[in-house]
Amino acid sequence: MNMDQAYLYYLWQKLAFVIVHKTTIWVLLVFFATAGISWHLGNLLDKHNAREREAKLARNTALGYTILGIVLWLFSFIMA
């Protein structure tokens, strides 16, 4: 399978178009709300000493959602 540069450029343009037009304020609000709720869950689980692994997982999930939301927002802002 030979993928030339023009086809890769076409795929990049198509992906950028879909990301920019599908990233709305509602998607970002859901990402940031999920991050906030996960962070709160991590703090709540941290109060219970037996739930340290779950608290760490909830905080890492919150961090992942926050980073992904910021990346999507920046990408849609720059490419729009």
Give the length of the chain: 80
* Digitized pLDDT (tens) for each residue of the chain, 80 residues in all: 567 888 888 999 998 998 888 888 999 999 999 999 999 999 999 888 767 889 999 999 999 999 999 999 999 888 87
Secondary structure (DSSP) of 48-68: SGGGHHHHHHHHHHHHHHHHH
pLDDT computed for residue 65 by the predictor? 96
- Locate tokens 């890769």: which residue? 8
How far apart (Å, rounded) are the C-alpha atoms in residues 77 and 20?
8
pTM: 0.78
pLDDT computed for residue 1 by the predictor? 53
- Domain-by-domain residue ranges, the chain? 21-79
